[in-house]
Amino acid sequence: MRIKSVLSLRNILLLALSFILMLSFGLPLPKASAATPVKGIYVDGTQIYDATGQPFVMKGVNHAHTWYKNDLASAIPAIAATGANTVRIVLANGQQWSKDDLASVEAILTLCDQYQLIAMLEVHDATGSDNVSTLDAAVNYWISIKDALIGKEDRVIVNIANEWYGSWSSTAWATGYQSAIPALRNAGIKNMLVVDAAGWGQYPTSIFTNGNDVFNSDPLGNIIFSIHMYEYAGGNATMVKDNIDNALAIGVPVIIGEFGHYHSAGDVDEATILSYTEQLGVGWLAWSWYGNGGGVEYLDLATGPAGSLTTWGNRIVNGPNGLATTSVLNGIYTTPGYVPVLDGGTGTVPAQPTGLTIVAGNEQATLSWNASSGASSYNVKRATTGSGVYTTIATGLTTTSYTNIGLTNGTTYYYVVSAVNTIGESANSVQFSVQPQSNPIPQSDLVVQYRTSSSSSSTNTIAPQFNIKNNGTTAVNLSDLKIRYYYTKDGNQSMDSWVDWAAVGSDNVQKVFGSTTGTNADTYIELSFTSAGSVIAAGGQSGEIQLRIAKSDWSNFDQSNDYSFDSTKTAFTDWNKVTLHLNGVTVWGTTP
């Protein structure tokens, strides 16, 4: 699209910005093993199929990643939330903008996979060029990062060069791609390839007249074409329909790789693009998530990487034939038990690891998981935000446990595990987070919930209420349990306490005060239960226990400096500053 001709005037600024962003981008993701191609997204006639054999119609957006490298972790989850099944990612090979290297591309693909988005990658430096050397540079870039592509043929598509060949001509365009495509295949890249039409993507006649020559240059026969529909290719309904019909007539799939609702030289019939592609089962990717400039800011779909939808964005997401009603996830994300299949064979990568659990320790976290069928080893990956991006911290593990040391107490870490064999690597496990602490929170099926009925900082009565939940599969005797609530007594007066009501019976709850040391605590009250208090069944709970504490002279406490107090908790909430002890062992909560 011609927005890039406008953007190219900003190359110097963008180059500087991208260089800064590249320096601050995430740590590299080491490869666990040499990748092996798997059965991927493929072409049959004019239809695209996913690796499970189901028709796949791409629906999604473009994201200008290479100019906004630091925004990835915010943008990808937001794009996925629109219902998109595909995202076209703008990359740079270093000729015009700061290069997206192998590690950064691997990070992009990991995040897209986490959010169940098929990733279409494109090199933007070739935009509008008629020079074969710029196309060759794009080819060389893909070969240089092929380790990020091989083994991900079921979820990664390669758009060879964005809008290469700006002139409205067909022969030289076709000749260039007839050399580029075999070079990629000879390098072992088997991903589906996308070829943009000539004329900045807006001259689909190049597809009509020379598309078969380009398609036939691929020994794998796995090529699709892309039209960028702005004013010259999508200006009215007749133009939209004729261009799609004539492209499909050569017997090869076509997508609308970019389009807007308006462009600098005129209107675009986005309503027909959306309705006619839906009618024919043709995919589309709207331009672009955010960050447009040079007078075409109206093409922003969102106000920022995780911003609200603009009018254009709302049309694409929630309007007729928009993402919310027409986009369907790729079958690899919806087929139960899906695992990639070795290309040309019947072997499979291991199953996705399940049952990941983590126990927090002092500056460490211990992970364990269930063995995966077909796995020979495992990789552990970690992030510092819930949306990724993951860094691989351990590879080649032959057991189903791992302890990550050297962590910072009080920091939340997010983990996933993948399984590996000679064929490839599985999808990541479900994410699990943990926060190491110097006084670790015990891991238990027993949980204490807390609320206060006296939320004032200054009060003559401390009034905590408790509920014990048993999330396990076996019953627990109440008489084996003790609850401790920690506070500062703010004086030397003696203490009194009352259980006003308890579901297990007030008479079955015993109380004792004790002294302690620690942050915001010098005293605790311990509740225990008589044998008449019965049991907490598996999956059950104790019910409310309503407690009051007061000084003998009824003077005020200052609850603001009490360890276990939280004025905001007026409804029962899991609360780890109240501890629970089973037969003398702390099974829930953290002491002061």
- Per-residue pLDDT for 1 more than 60? no
- Kindly report, as residue ranges, where domains of CATH 2.60.40.10 are found in the chain: 357-434
- Kindly report, as residue ranges, where domains of CATH 2.60.40.710 are found in the chain: 446-588
Active site residue 363: no
Query: Which pLDDT tens digit goes with each residue over 52-102?
Result: 999 999 999 999 999 999 899 899 999 999 999 999 999 999 999 999 999
- In this structure, what token pair is assigned to residue 535? 């049991």
The pLDDT assigned to 342 comes to 80
- In this structure, what token pair is assigned to residue 226? 């892309």
Which DSSP state fits 489?
-
How confident is the model over 107-132, as a mean pLDDT?
95
> Is the N-terminal amide bond of 479 cis, ω within 30° of 0?
no
Query: Which pLDDT tens digit goes with each residue over 531-577?
Result: 876 889 888 899 999 999 999 999 999 999 999 999 888 888 889 89
d(CA 27, CA 381) in angstroms, rounded, equals 12
| CA R_g for the chain | 30
Query: Which pLDDT tens digit goes with each residue over 263-275?
Result: 987 999 999 999 9
3-state secondary structure of 459: strand
**What does pLDDT average to over the chain?**
89
Query: What are the residues whose beta carbons fall under 8 Å from the beta carbon of 527, sequence distance 6 or more?
Result: 466, 482, 483, 484, 485, 499, 509, 510, 511, 545, 547
Contact 330, 50 (CB under 8 A): yes
Contact 226, 202 (CB under 8 A): no
Contact 77, 190 (CB under 8 A): no
Instruction: For residue 268, give the nearest of 302, 239, 296 by alpha carbon.
Output: 239
Mention the CATH class of domain 3-28+49-333: alpha beta
Which DSSP state fits 561?
G
- Per-residue pLDDT for 11 more than 50? no
Taking phi first (over 0 means left), then psi (-120 to 50 degrees means alpha), and beta for anything else, what does residue 225 get?
A: beta
The pLDDT assigned to 8 comes to 35
The pLDDT assigned to 25 comes to 32
3-state secondary structure of 482: strand
163, 231, 270, 425: which is the annotated catalytic residue? 163
Strands (E) located in 178-222: 193-196
Which DSSP state fits 566?
-
**Phi and psi for 72 in degrees, rounded to 5?**
-55, -50
d(CA 443, CA 552) in angstroms, rounded, equals 38
106, 231, 258, 270: which is the annotated catalytic residue? 258
When mean pLDDT is compared over 193-197, 366-370, 420-424, the highest value belongs to 193-197
- Per-residue pLDDT for 40 more than 50? yes
At 12, the pLDDT band (50, 70, 90 cuts) reads very low
Helices 237-248, 270-280: crossing angle, 10 deg rounding: 30
Query: What are the residues whose beta carbons fall under 8 Å from the beta carbon of 96, sequence distance 6 or more?
Result: 8, 11, 15, 124, 125
Instruction: For residue 290, give the nearest of 13, 18, 117, 72 by alpha carbon.
Output: 72
> Which class for 268: exposed (0-12), middle (13-18), buried (19 or more C-beta within 10 A)?
buried
Query: Which pLDDT tens digit goes with each residue over 463-518?
Result: 999 999 998 888 899 999 999 999 999 999 999 999 999 888 899 999 999 998 88
d(CA 200, CA 167) in angstroms, rounded, equals 7
Query: Which pLDDT tens digit goes with each residue over 220-264?
Result: 999 999 999 999 999 999 999 999 999 999 999 999 999 999 998
**Phi and psi for 420 in degrees, rounded to 5?**
-135, 145
pTM exceeding the 0.85 threshold for the entire prediction: no
Taken as a whole, the chain contains a residue count of 592
Active site residue 106: no
Mention the CATH class of domain 357-434: mainly beta
- In this structure, what token pair is assigned to residue 17? 């910005």
- Kindly report, as residue ranges, where domains of CATH 3.20.20.80 are found in the chain: 3-28+49-333
Q: According to DSSP H, which parts of 357-414 are helical?
A: none
DSSP character string of 492-515: S--EEEEEEEETT-GGGEEEEEEE
CATH H superfamily, domain 446-588? Endoglucanase-like (2.60.40.710)
Helices 171-186, 205-216: crossing angle, 10 deg rounding: 30
Q: According to DSSP H, which parts of 319-362 are helical?
A: 323-326
